[in-house]
Amino acid sequence: MRSIGTDGRLLRSDGQRNRDLVVRAALEIFAENGMLGTVEQIAVRAGVSRTTVYRSFPTRRALQIAVATSQFAQIHRIALEAQERSAGSGAGLVDFVFGAFEYNQANRLYLELFEGGRRPRCSTCTPRRGARSRS
């Protein structure tokens, strides 16, 4: 399915290909680094310039929304697959819960979106301003 560009028109095939590459790269970078992933990292992973990233996603928030939409679509696919395998039994719910857990466990941005903020990457990282100490 073709996307609509920032000018309101359908993207050309090369623009759609670049947009898909950027979203796929952003999924990977955000999964690895959470919201700390940078546009530069995404551009390098996608094999495009930063300008190309910003052409499809004028703001970081727009990119995060595209990634979140893609993630929700993946969770939906997990639910549909679990439903198909279950044939009406309660096993489908169990399959979905475990499938969603596996997906979420490997994806920092998805977890951060529901937590509402960034998680420090290590114990020596500086906590967020105003965050409570865990000691």
C-beta separation of 78 from 3 below 8 A: no
pLDDT of residue 37: 87
Distance CA 126, CA 113 (A): 20
pLDDT of residue 11: 66
Q: Give how far Cα 31 sits from Cα of 2, 25, 95, 134, Å.
A: 25, 10, 22, 24
Mean pLDDT of 65-90: 81
Distance CA 51, CA 54 (A): 5
pLDDT of residue 44: 97
- Under the banding of pLDDT at 50, 70 and 90, the label for residue 96 is confident
C-beta separation of 75 from 107 below 8 A: no
pLDDT of residue 8: 61
Walk me through the domains of the chain, giving residue ranges and CATH numbers.
13-115 (1.10.357.10)
pLDDT of residue 119: 47
Distance CA 117, CA 119 (A): 7
